[in-house]
């Protein structure tokens, strides 16, 4: 899980595709960081530098924010049940990926390729 912020956030479709990159990288031992939540933040920010990722996508207390949760289905179902009654949280509709979504995903993949 990672709380992501920023003036303009990637769409849910883009975040899902980038989260899938992180999950694949975790399985193969090719993460950008030691922890998957930091790997996700780095990929969403399109950088390998944690300081830059925090400036670009770190939550700063104001502005838009999204809690991204990714993992095995059972764990996500348990999380959804636990927070289901919280009025501050809602599930975002994914929709079809746009050209901007694909650029975010490509940038995330290229960060890993440069290492």
Domain count, the chain: 1
pTM for the whole structure: 0.83
Of 33-37, 39-43, 88-92, which range is least confident? Answer: 88-92
Q: What is the pLDDT of residue 7?
A: 81
With beta carbons less than 8 A apart as the criterion, state whether 108 and 22 touch.
no
Per the structure, the complete domain to which residue 62 belongs is given by 2-114
With beta carbons less than 8 A apart as the criterion, state whether 4 and 15 touch.
yes
Give the span between the Cα atoms of 110 and 13, in whole angstroms.
18
DSSP state of 35: S
pLDDT band at 109 (very low <50, low <70, confident <90, very high): very high
pLDDT tens-place string over residues 41-88: 999 999 999 999 999 998 887 777 888 888 777 887 887 778 777 777
Q: What is the CATH number of the domain that holds 81?
A: 3.30.2380.10
The rounded mean pLDDT for the chain is: 87
């Amino acid at each position: 899980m990672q709380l992501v912020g920023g003036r303009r956030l990637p769409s849910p479709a883009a975040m899902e595709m980038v989260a899938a990159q992180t999950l694949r990288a975790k399985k193969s031992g090719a993460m950008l960081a030691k922890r998957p939540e930091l790997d996700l933040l780095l990929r969403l920010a399109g950088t390998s530098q944690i300081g830059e990722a925090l400036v670009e996508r770190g939550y700063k207390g104001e502005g838009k924010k999204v809690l991204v949760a990714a993992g095995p289905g059972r764990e996500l179902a348990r999380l959804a049940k636990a927070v289901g009654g919280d009025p501050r949280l809602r599930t975002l509709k994914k929709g079809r990926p746009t050209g901007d979504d694909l650029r975010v995903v490509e940038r995330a993949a290229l960060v890993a390729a440069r290492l």
